[in-house]
Amino acid sequence: MSAYLIAVIGYLLFMVLLGAYFAKRSVQNSEDFMVAGRRLPLFVVIGTLLATFVGSGTVVGGASFIYQYGPYAAIFNLSGGAVGIIVLYFIASKVRAGENFTVPEMIEKRFGGTARVVASLFILLAYVGITAYQFTGGAYVLNITMGVPVETGTIIIGILVIFLAASGGLFSVAYTDSVSSLLIVFGFLIGLPFVLSAVGGFSGLGAGLPEHTGTWNGGLSIPQLIGYFLPLFLLLLGDQNMYQRFSAAKDQNTAKKSTIGFFFGNIAVIAMTILFAASAIVLFPNIEPDTAILSMAISGVPMPIGVLILSAAVAFLITTGTSYLLSASGNLVHDLYQRYSARKVPENKLLGFNRLVVVGLGVLAYVLGTFFPTVLQIQMYSYTMYGAAITPAVLATVLWKRATTAGILSSMIVGGAATILWEIVLNRPMEWNSVLFSLPLSVSTLIIVSLLTYNKYTSTPDFRAQA
């Protein structure tokens, strides 16, 4: 049995045991399950923010983009996260002060119950998709280390993600995230000198890139580049997972400071991901793009370092999956079932129902993943569904006092429907990502309808004043 296989199995076992530990020790009610009892320390908040954001979307989807279009185009594409974190810095403490469980709950405080329902439904559509490509990304690891067919690996990873999310809730997710974040940063840092040496340094890397991957745009048009930048940027700005982690911090100051650590951690991981995946272009010119980082971990660095990177990579894929699955279950249970139940749901039944919903949504994520041929494609769909339907509404809730219920509702419906129309019905005309079509429609609808329906004497209260 290879060291890589032992490492992956060992780390997966560690995550299972940690999930079981927190399920027994720390999860007593739905608040513990969804927001870790609102008592996470700074280091853990930073780690879970980073691991949640840097999952299959970076290790597999981002690596695929870099391998296909080159490191310079990737800088523009992946910088959306860093820009989004800067914006989050200014609103993190406000979010923590609101003590909400979910984004739809936050939206309801200004725009009413209907807005909460609509937001919940579109978040479910996006988050189930994001969970789906974590399953696929983890399956690539099992395929490379054990030779497990991707279809079978997807089921195995899916079962593991569902178990972790259903057992320990955000407590187990947050603490395993922190360990995984340390592993990936440490592994990349140690492995980077070996990778650069193998390609002849920065000069050798630049000289070894194929012609189109050595250009500033990777052969993509400007609309196509923007179409890859915006989904990541928009997802981060309105991502319910980010907001839930701010709400799980022990206080407002911890929530705000966590964005600083998150920013620098994200910059480090993205920069090293670009260098690793770009080096894979030179060293392994005929591999599947999705496996660029994983191939470097197996063959591009010394085995002990590869073991670290591979273990952290699979952990990132799994913890990101558990985060989005857990978050989506919160929308269904907290924003729909509990909010509109005819009678108060007992706490013990609510926790059990939360876990049951996690299982159901996990199965749905597996089914959805079978409709998309690559991780990168389902990544762009999921990010855009959230970015166009939810992010404008979230930012308007926090920052724009003239936004109205009519504007928010119409914006979410138009943004979500436009994404489905472009991606699934029209099958991505001109190879443009749907964000170029759905985001302008969503934002313009929000602004126009809000201005037409705004009345300063009857408008909804300002969220900032509540915070």
Residue 460 is encoded by which pair of tokens? 């909804």
46-66 mean pLDDT: 81
Give the pLDDT of residue 23.
Answer: 65
Measured CA to CA, the distance from residue 312 to residue 319 in angstroms comes to 10
Task: Count the helices and strands in the chain (H runs, E runs).
Answer: 23, 0
Percent of the chain having pLDDT more than 70? Answer: 89
DSSP letters spanning 182-237: HHHHHHHHHHHHHHHHHTTHHHHHHHHS-TGGGSSSTT--HHHHHHHHHHHHHHHH
Which has the higher per-residue pLDDT, 343 or 58?
Answer: 58
* Mean pLDDT, the chain, whole residue set: 82
Which pLDDT tens digit goes with each residue over 230-248? 887 887 887 888 888 888 8
Say how many C-beta atoms besides its own lie within 10 A of residue 360's C-beta: 12
Give the pLDDT of residue 463.
Answer: 43
127-156 mean pLDDT: 83
Beta bridge pairs of residue 40:
249
433-461 mean pLDDT: 84
Say how many C-beta atoms besides its own lie within 10 A of residue 246's C-beta: 28
Which has the higher per-residue pLDDT, 16 or 114?
Answer: 114
Give the pLDDT of residue 26.
Answer: 63
Is the Cα dihedral 282, 216, 137, 36 positive or negative? positive
Residue 30: pLDDT over 70: no
Residue 169: pLDDT over 60: yes
Measured CA to CA, the distance from residue 188 to residue 190 in angstroms comes to 6
Measured CA to CA, the distance from residue 294 to residue 306 in angstroms comes to 9
Q: Which residue carries 């959805």 as its tokens?
A: 368
Which pLDDT tens digit goes with each residue over 315-358? 777 777 888 888 888 888 878 887 777 677 676 677 778 788 88
When mean pLDDT is compared across 112-116, 265-269, 306-310, 340-344, the lowest value belongs to 340-344
Which pLDDT tens digit goes with each residue over 272-322? 999 999 999 999 988 888 889 888 888 888 888 888 888 777 777 777 788
Give the pLDDT of residue 1.
Answer: 46
Q: Are 230 and 380 a contacting pair, CB within 8 Å?
A: no
Give the pLDDT of residue 447.
Answer: 96
Residue 415: pLDDT over 90: yes
Measured CA to CA, the distance from residue 207 to residue 312 in angstroms comes to 30
Say how many C-beta atoms besides its own lie within 10 A of residue 139's C-beta: 26
Angle at 270 between CA 101 and CA 151, to 5 degrees: 75
The structural domains of the chain, with segments of one domain joined by +, span 3-374
DSSP state of 59: I
Residue 414: pLDDT over 90: yes
Give the pLDDT of residue 465.
Answer: 38
Q: Are 256 and 175 a contacting pair, CB within 8 Å?
A: no
Q: Which residue carries 């399920």 as its tokens?
A: 23
Give the pLDDT of residue 275.
Answer: 93
Which has the higher per-residue pLDDT, 441 or 39?
Answer: 441
Q: What's domain 3-374's architecture?
A: Up-down Bundle (1.20)
Which pLDDT tens digit goes with each residue over 188-229? 888 899 999 999 999 999 889 988 888 888 888 888 888 888
Say how many C-beta atoms besides its own lie within 10 A of residue 79's C-beta: 16
Q: Are 170 and 33 a contacting pair, CB within 8 Å?
A: yes
